[in-house]
Amino acid sequence: MLINQTAEKLRSMKLPAFAEEFLRQVEMPTMSELSFDERVGMMTDAEWFSRDKNRIRKLTKEAKLRVPSACFADIDYRPSRKLDKAYIARLSNFAWVRESKNLIITGATGTGKTWLACAFGSEGCRMGLNVSFFRLSLLLNELTVASGSGGLMKMLTMLKKTNILIIDDWGISRLTPTESRLLLEIFEDRFNERFTIIAAQMPVSKWHELFDDATVADAVLDRIVHNTHRFELHGESMRRLSADKD
């Protein structure tokens, strides 16, 4: 009875994994061979790992990544893609995120830009960073709606606080003056403060052509193009290669 009461008290204190490990140890006679410190350490580790797993799951769910299963371990390094494995390894500790550097991923349709961006997003969640994934068209639509309903500042504040903002499908269509100014608001707030990943089919050299307002284009690109890490993906469509395997 005392054992069950103790377990219930642990659960009521929001220590469910600690409680389960406590009960597991009670049911194992061999645990008596361990010291008190060792057993408490095992219960503490169980609770810590459970909370860490739940935290990562929560961050990943909130990120809304298009490919949540993407991860560094599954990156395809076939020679045709021209992906530098050592470069990926150097970026894997995410120190550059804290330096507020951006990451730009370009390449033809199907070369895996979105997947690689999501891999960085997934690993960021595992590092305890909050991540938000948006297709550019949907992001601009949400900002426009928020602007009309009086919620623009709230959304801009949310974007400013996001450790890693991933913007996919950059450059699919031209940007109106209103859309350009909204993007400027985002990157002005994040400049030297937060980190952004941009995945685009169009090469960076042509990004200026996306803006109707050249002055705003200069201001936006000045805040995102310089001081960046870049990947230009090559090779065949990864979608086609995946379909060929099926």
Residue 121 has pLDDT above 50, yes or no: yes
Of 61, 79, 112, at which residue does a domain stop?
A: 61
Q: Which two tokens stand for residue 126?
A: 């595992």
Select from 61, 82, 111 the last residue of a domain.
Answer: 61
Q: Return the structure tokens found at 228.
A: 């960046």
The pLDDT value given to residue 99: 76
Segment 117-133 mean pLDDT:
94
Letter for the amino acid at 166?
Answer: I
111 Cβ contact list (under 8 Å, min separation 6): 81, 233, 234, 235, 236, 237, 238
Q: Which residues pair with 216 in a beta bridge?
A: none
Q: Tell me, what's the pLDDT at 184? A: 95
Residue 176 has pLDDT above 50, yes or no: yes
Average pLDDT over residues 152-175: 94
- Are 14 and 69 contained in the same domain? no
Angle at the Cα of 194 from the Cα atoms of 212 and 221, rounded to 5 degrees: 25
Instruction: Please compute the mean of the pLDDT values over residues 32-45 and round it to a whole number.
Output: 90
The beta strands (E) that lie in 63-111 are given as 102-107
d(CA 227, CA 115): 23
Which of 65-69, 93-97, 216-220, 221-225 shows the lowest mean pLDDT across its residues? Answer: 93-97
3-state helix, strand, coil in the chain (%, to 5): 60, 15, 25
Query: Does the pLDDT value for residue 34 go beyond 50?
Result: yes
Question: What's the whole-number mean pLDDT along residues 163-187?
Answer: 94
54 and 77 in a single domain? The answer is no
**Domain interval for residue 186:** 64-245
Q: Give per-residue pLDDT as tens, 66-100.
A: 999 999 999 999 888 889 999 999 888 888 777 77
Same domain, 41 and 131: no
Residues 48 and 128 in one domain: no
Query: How far apart (Å, rounded) are the C-alpha atoms in residues 113 and 59?
Result: 21
**223 contacts 187 by C-beta, under 8 angstroms:** yes
128 token code pair: 């305890």
d(CA 25, CA 29): 8
For the entire predicted model, the pTM comes to 0.84
**What average pLDDT score do residues 145-170 get?**
93
What is the pLDDT, as a whole number, of residue 246?
39
User: How many domains does the chain divide into?
Assistant: 2
Least confident of 144-158, 177-191, 231-245: 231-245
Sign of CA pseudo-dihedral 60, 66, 69, 72: negative
pLDDT at 239 over 70: no
Arithmetic mean of pLDDT, 125-154:
93
